[in-house]
Amino acid sequence: MDRVPVFVGLDYHQDSVQVCVMERGGEVLKNRPCANHWQAICKVVGRRGREVHAAIEACSGAAELAEELVARCHWSLDLAHPGFVARMKQNPDKTDFGDAKLLADLERVGYLPQVWLAPQTIRELRRVVRYRQQLADQRRDCKLRIRALLRDGRVKPSLGLRAWTAPWLRWLETTEEVSPQTRWILDRQLTHLRYFSAEIRLVEKRLAQLTAADPVVEKLLSLRGIGLITAVTLRAEIGRFDRFRSGKQLSRFCGLCPRNASSGARQADAGLIKAGNPRLRAVLIEAAHRLVRFEIRWTRFAVRLRDRDKPGSVVAAAVANCWVRWLYHQMQLVGQPV
DSSP 39-107: HHHHHHH-STT--EEEEEE--TTHHHHHHHHHHHH--EEEEE-HHHHHHHH--S---HHHHHHHHHHHH
> Which residue, 83, 115, 147, sits at the end of a domain?
115
Predicted local confidence at residue 147, as pLDDT: 95
Kindly tell me the burial class for residue 148, based on how many C-beta atoms sit within 10 Å of its own C-beta (0-12, 13-18, 19 or more): exposed
Closest-CA residue to 234 (of 259, 200, 207) = 207
- Cα torsion 243, 327, 286, 258 to 10°: value is -70
> What count of other Cβ atoms lies within 10 Å of the Cβ of residue 201?
11
**Radius of gyration (Cα) for the chain, nearest Å?**
25
| pLDDT tens per residue across span 14-51 | 999 999 999 999 999 999 999 999 999 999 998 655 78
Residue 335 has pLDDT above 90, yes or no: no
Q: Is the pLDDT of residue 98 over 80?
A: yes
In-domain check, residue 93: yes
Which positions ≥6 away from 7 have C-beta within 8 Å?
21, 22, 23, 24, 52, 53, 54, 55, 104, 105, 107, 108
Range with lowest mean pLDDT among 65-79, 83-97, 103-117: 83-97
- Of 54, 46, 49, 44, the C-alpha closest to 7 is 54
255 domain-assigned: yes
Q: What percent of the chain has pLDDT over 70?
A: 95
Same domain, yes or no, for 151 and 224?
Answer: no
- Residue 87 reports pLDDT greater than 90: no
Strand segments, DSSP code E, in 165-268 are: 258-260
Q: Which domain-ending residue is among 195, 210, 225?
A: 210
Domain range for 85 is: 6-115
Question: Exposed, middle or buried, 207 (CB in 10 Å: 0-12/13-18/19+)?
Answer: buried
> What is residue 334's predicted lDDT score, i.e. its pLDDT?
75
Please report the pLDDT score of residue 299 as a whole number.
95
Domains identified in the chain, total number = 3
Same domain, 187 and 103: no
Same domain for 62 and 108? yes
- The dihedral through the CA atoms of 79, 81, 84, 85 has a sign that is positive
Mean pLDDT throughout 255-277?
76
Domain end call among 188, 210, 232: 210
Same domain? 277 vs 241: yes
